[in-house]
Chain A
Amino acid sequence: MADTSLRTDLRKVDLSAIRDELRRLWASEALRDEAVMRARTHNLVVYTDVRRHHVDDIVQFIIEITSARPGRVILIHCDLEAEDRVEGWVTVYCQQQNQAQVCGEMVVFDVGGRLGDEIHSTVVSLLAPDLPVYLWWMQRPEPDDHLFETLSAEAARLIVDSDFFPAPRHDFPALADLDAPPLVDLAWGKLAPWRDAVAQFWEIPELREHLPCVQGMEIRYHADRLLTGDTRALLLVGWMADRLGWEFLHAERSPEGGYGTRWMIAGCEAGIDVLPAAGVEGDLPPGEIASIQITVGEEPPFSTSRIEFIPQRHWLSIALHGEPTEAAMRGYTFHPVDARRALAEELVSGYDSLYPKALRQVAAVFRSLNRS
């Protein structure tokens, strides 16, 4: 098990002395307990404009997330309504995982007022050379924002988490139109085991031949009290639509929350519904998918299969009913992916080019809803 005791004490430092302070911190760590930073694989630049009293939580969250991936993190906290100011802090931290020690370093800028536009050159000067830059924009990125524009020019990837977009109907189309570095969505990363499950489902030989002619689907997701949390399920639909060549027709808001969407699949119109799950037990966060029901067949009687996550058992159950298959139950161990794991995966994996294609499909759904 990893030792999660992290040294996260931030030291306030003059901006011009950040590099020296980092060097000094590493040297003192080395004298103390041989905690020498032996590897660095990336720069992670994080932007947030949350209220100031939340910054400590964000620092801790990012250190926990990145402690398994050695690199330099630069966190920029901007408060546009505050008076003009720039303050800097630095810290180094190490995590012991069995025999391996993974170390990271973080620079935090607390920026007030108009100086947010001026901080980019300081940030760029502190990037570790010759390593990729990941820019994690914790809000919806605004293309006209000067800081976003300058930092994204340095970035190899732009990371967002669409689970936290406040207005998906507008945010997704805007994201799809964004002229930015290759886009990474942590919500997409959280969806990975479900994409695996759906792909795996079609490995069942007697179902494979029906893959081109899906008759309908119903995806249930965990919703919060406001019935939000539907966008990850829509991304799953967008991914299937892109991979299987479905043509989007139209969409409407469902009275119970979620959406009903219509697609042209193999020359036939099919309904794909994205709906909140009713009475789901467990403490899963909003957005997590609960079940997928898939109806296939050339002609009636159709076969309906159900993939369902049972949180108490960490189990994904697959039930096949009726023609062309006889009733059968299958399943395997299933672990949902959280933001921490999604980001950790992102920092070591190659770019997933399927995401922008799925995003375009989801944007089309929202544009249709916005028109109606």
Chain B
Amino acid sequence: MKLIKKGLLDTWQGLPSFGLQHEGIPPGGAMDTFSLQIANALVGNDLYDKVLEMHFPAGVYQFETSTLLAICGADFRACVDNVEVPLNQPIKVPPGAIFSCKKPVSGQRVYVATRTLHDEQVSRVKILPWSMNPENVFTDEPIRILCGREWDQIKACSQQCFLSRPFGISPTSNRMGYQLIQEPLKILPSQNLISSAVTAGTIQLLPSGQIVVLMAGHQTTGGYPRLAHVISADLPRLAQKGPGDSLRFTLTDSMTAEYEWILVQNYLQQVRNVCTLKLSQHRFDHH
């Protein structure tokens, strides 16, 4: 893929890479790991392969070879050669085709997975006749959280507010963290915390009473009270929310968090298997 015009924040992202946090190196990776993996599955890549993560305005790219691509995550009215193409569906494009995005409709980040078609010369854009519908993942249900170690550092009334009121998302939010917009929470007096590890999804309470949700680009350690943690299964959904969206939290338990994570992982594996089957069937029919 050749860059024609740079986007606001286009980066190649895969799954988080662990193992170096003791050196202060965060795992990073895609914000919405679910869409990343669906995009990879649709083109027959490994689920963890790196794909292009883009924000709006997204970059403009030209394909240099015949390519199979899939666009997942945010709806930015993605186009190939200025014609809108569907999300969550494999698309074959000829060499020279240009990828662009028209306008942000929903979601914050789009993922474009590609695979070079070595044994096939594509002459025109062709949308393959199957798709994956991620509607059951990207719901408007409240984001599920687990209590953090310092959940008791806000007053009971603030705990109530936290679990009942909708939050806004500040435009200053980025890959490192989301700053939430709300009435400052009422903090109980407490001792200074000693810095320790944090993870993606950790909800930190700032001294001002404001809150920050750590996202994929978070630092490895932090010294702010940890009010709660977003469950891993809900992080992709949170990653597609942004300024203008409203956000609600609900408490869950670690059994549920584990169960939901297993469900998502099993679903992704199923999608990958189905897509691999479809692609090989398609190749067979094609030749």
| Same complex | no
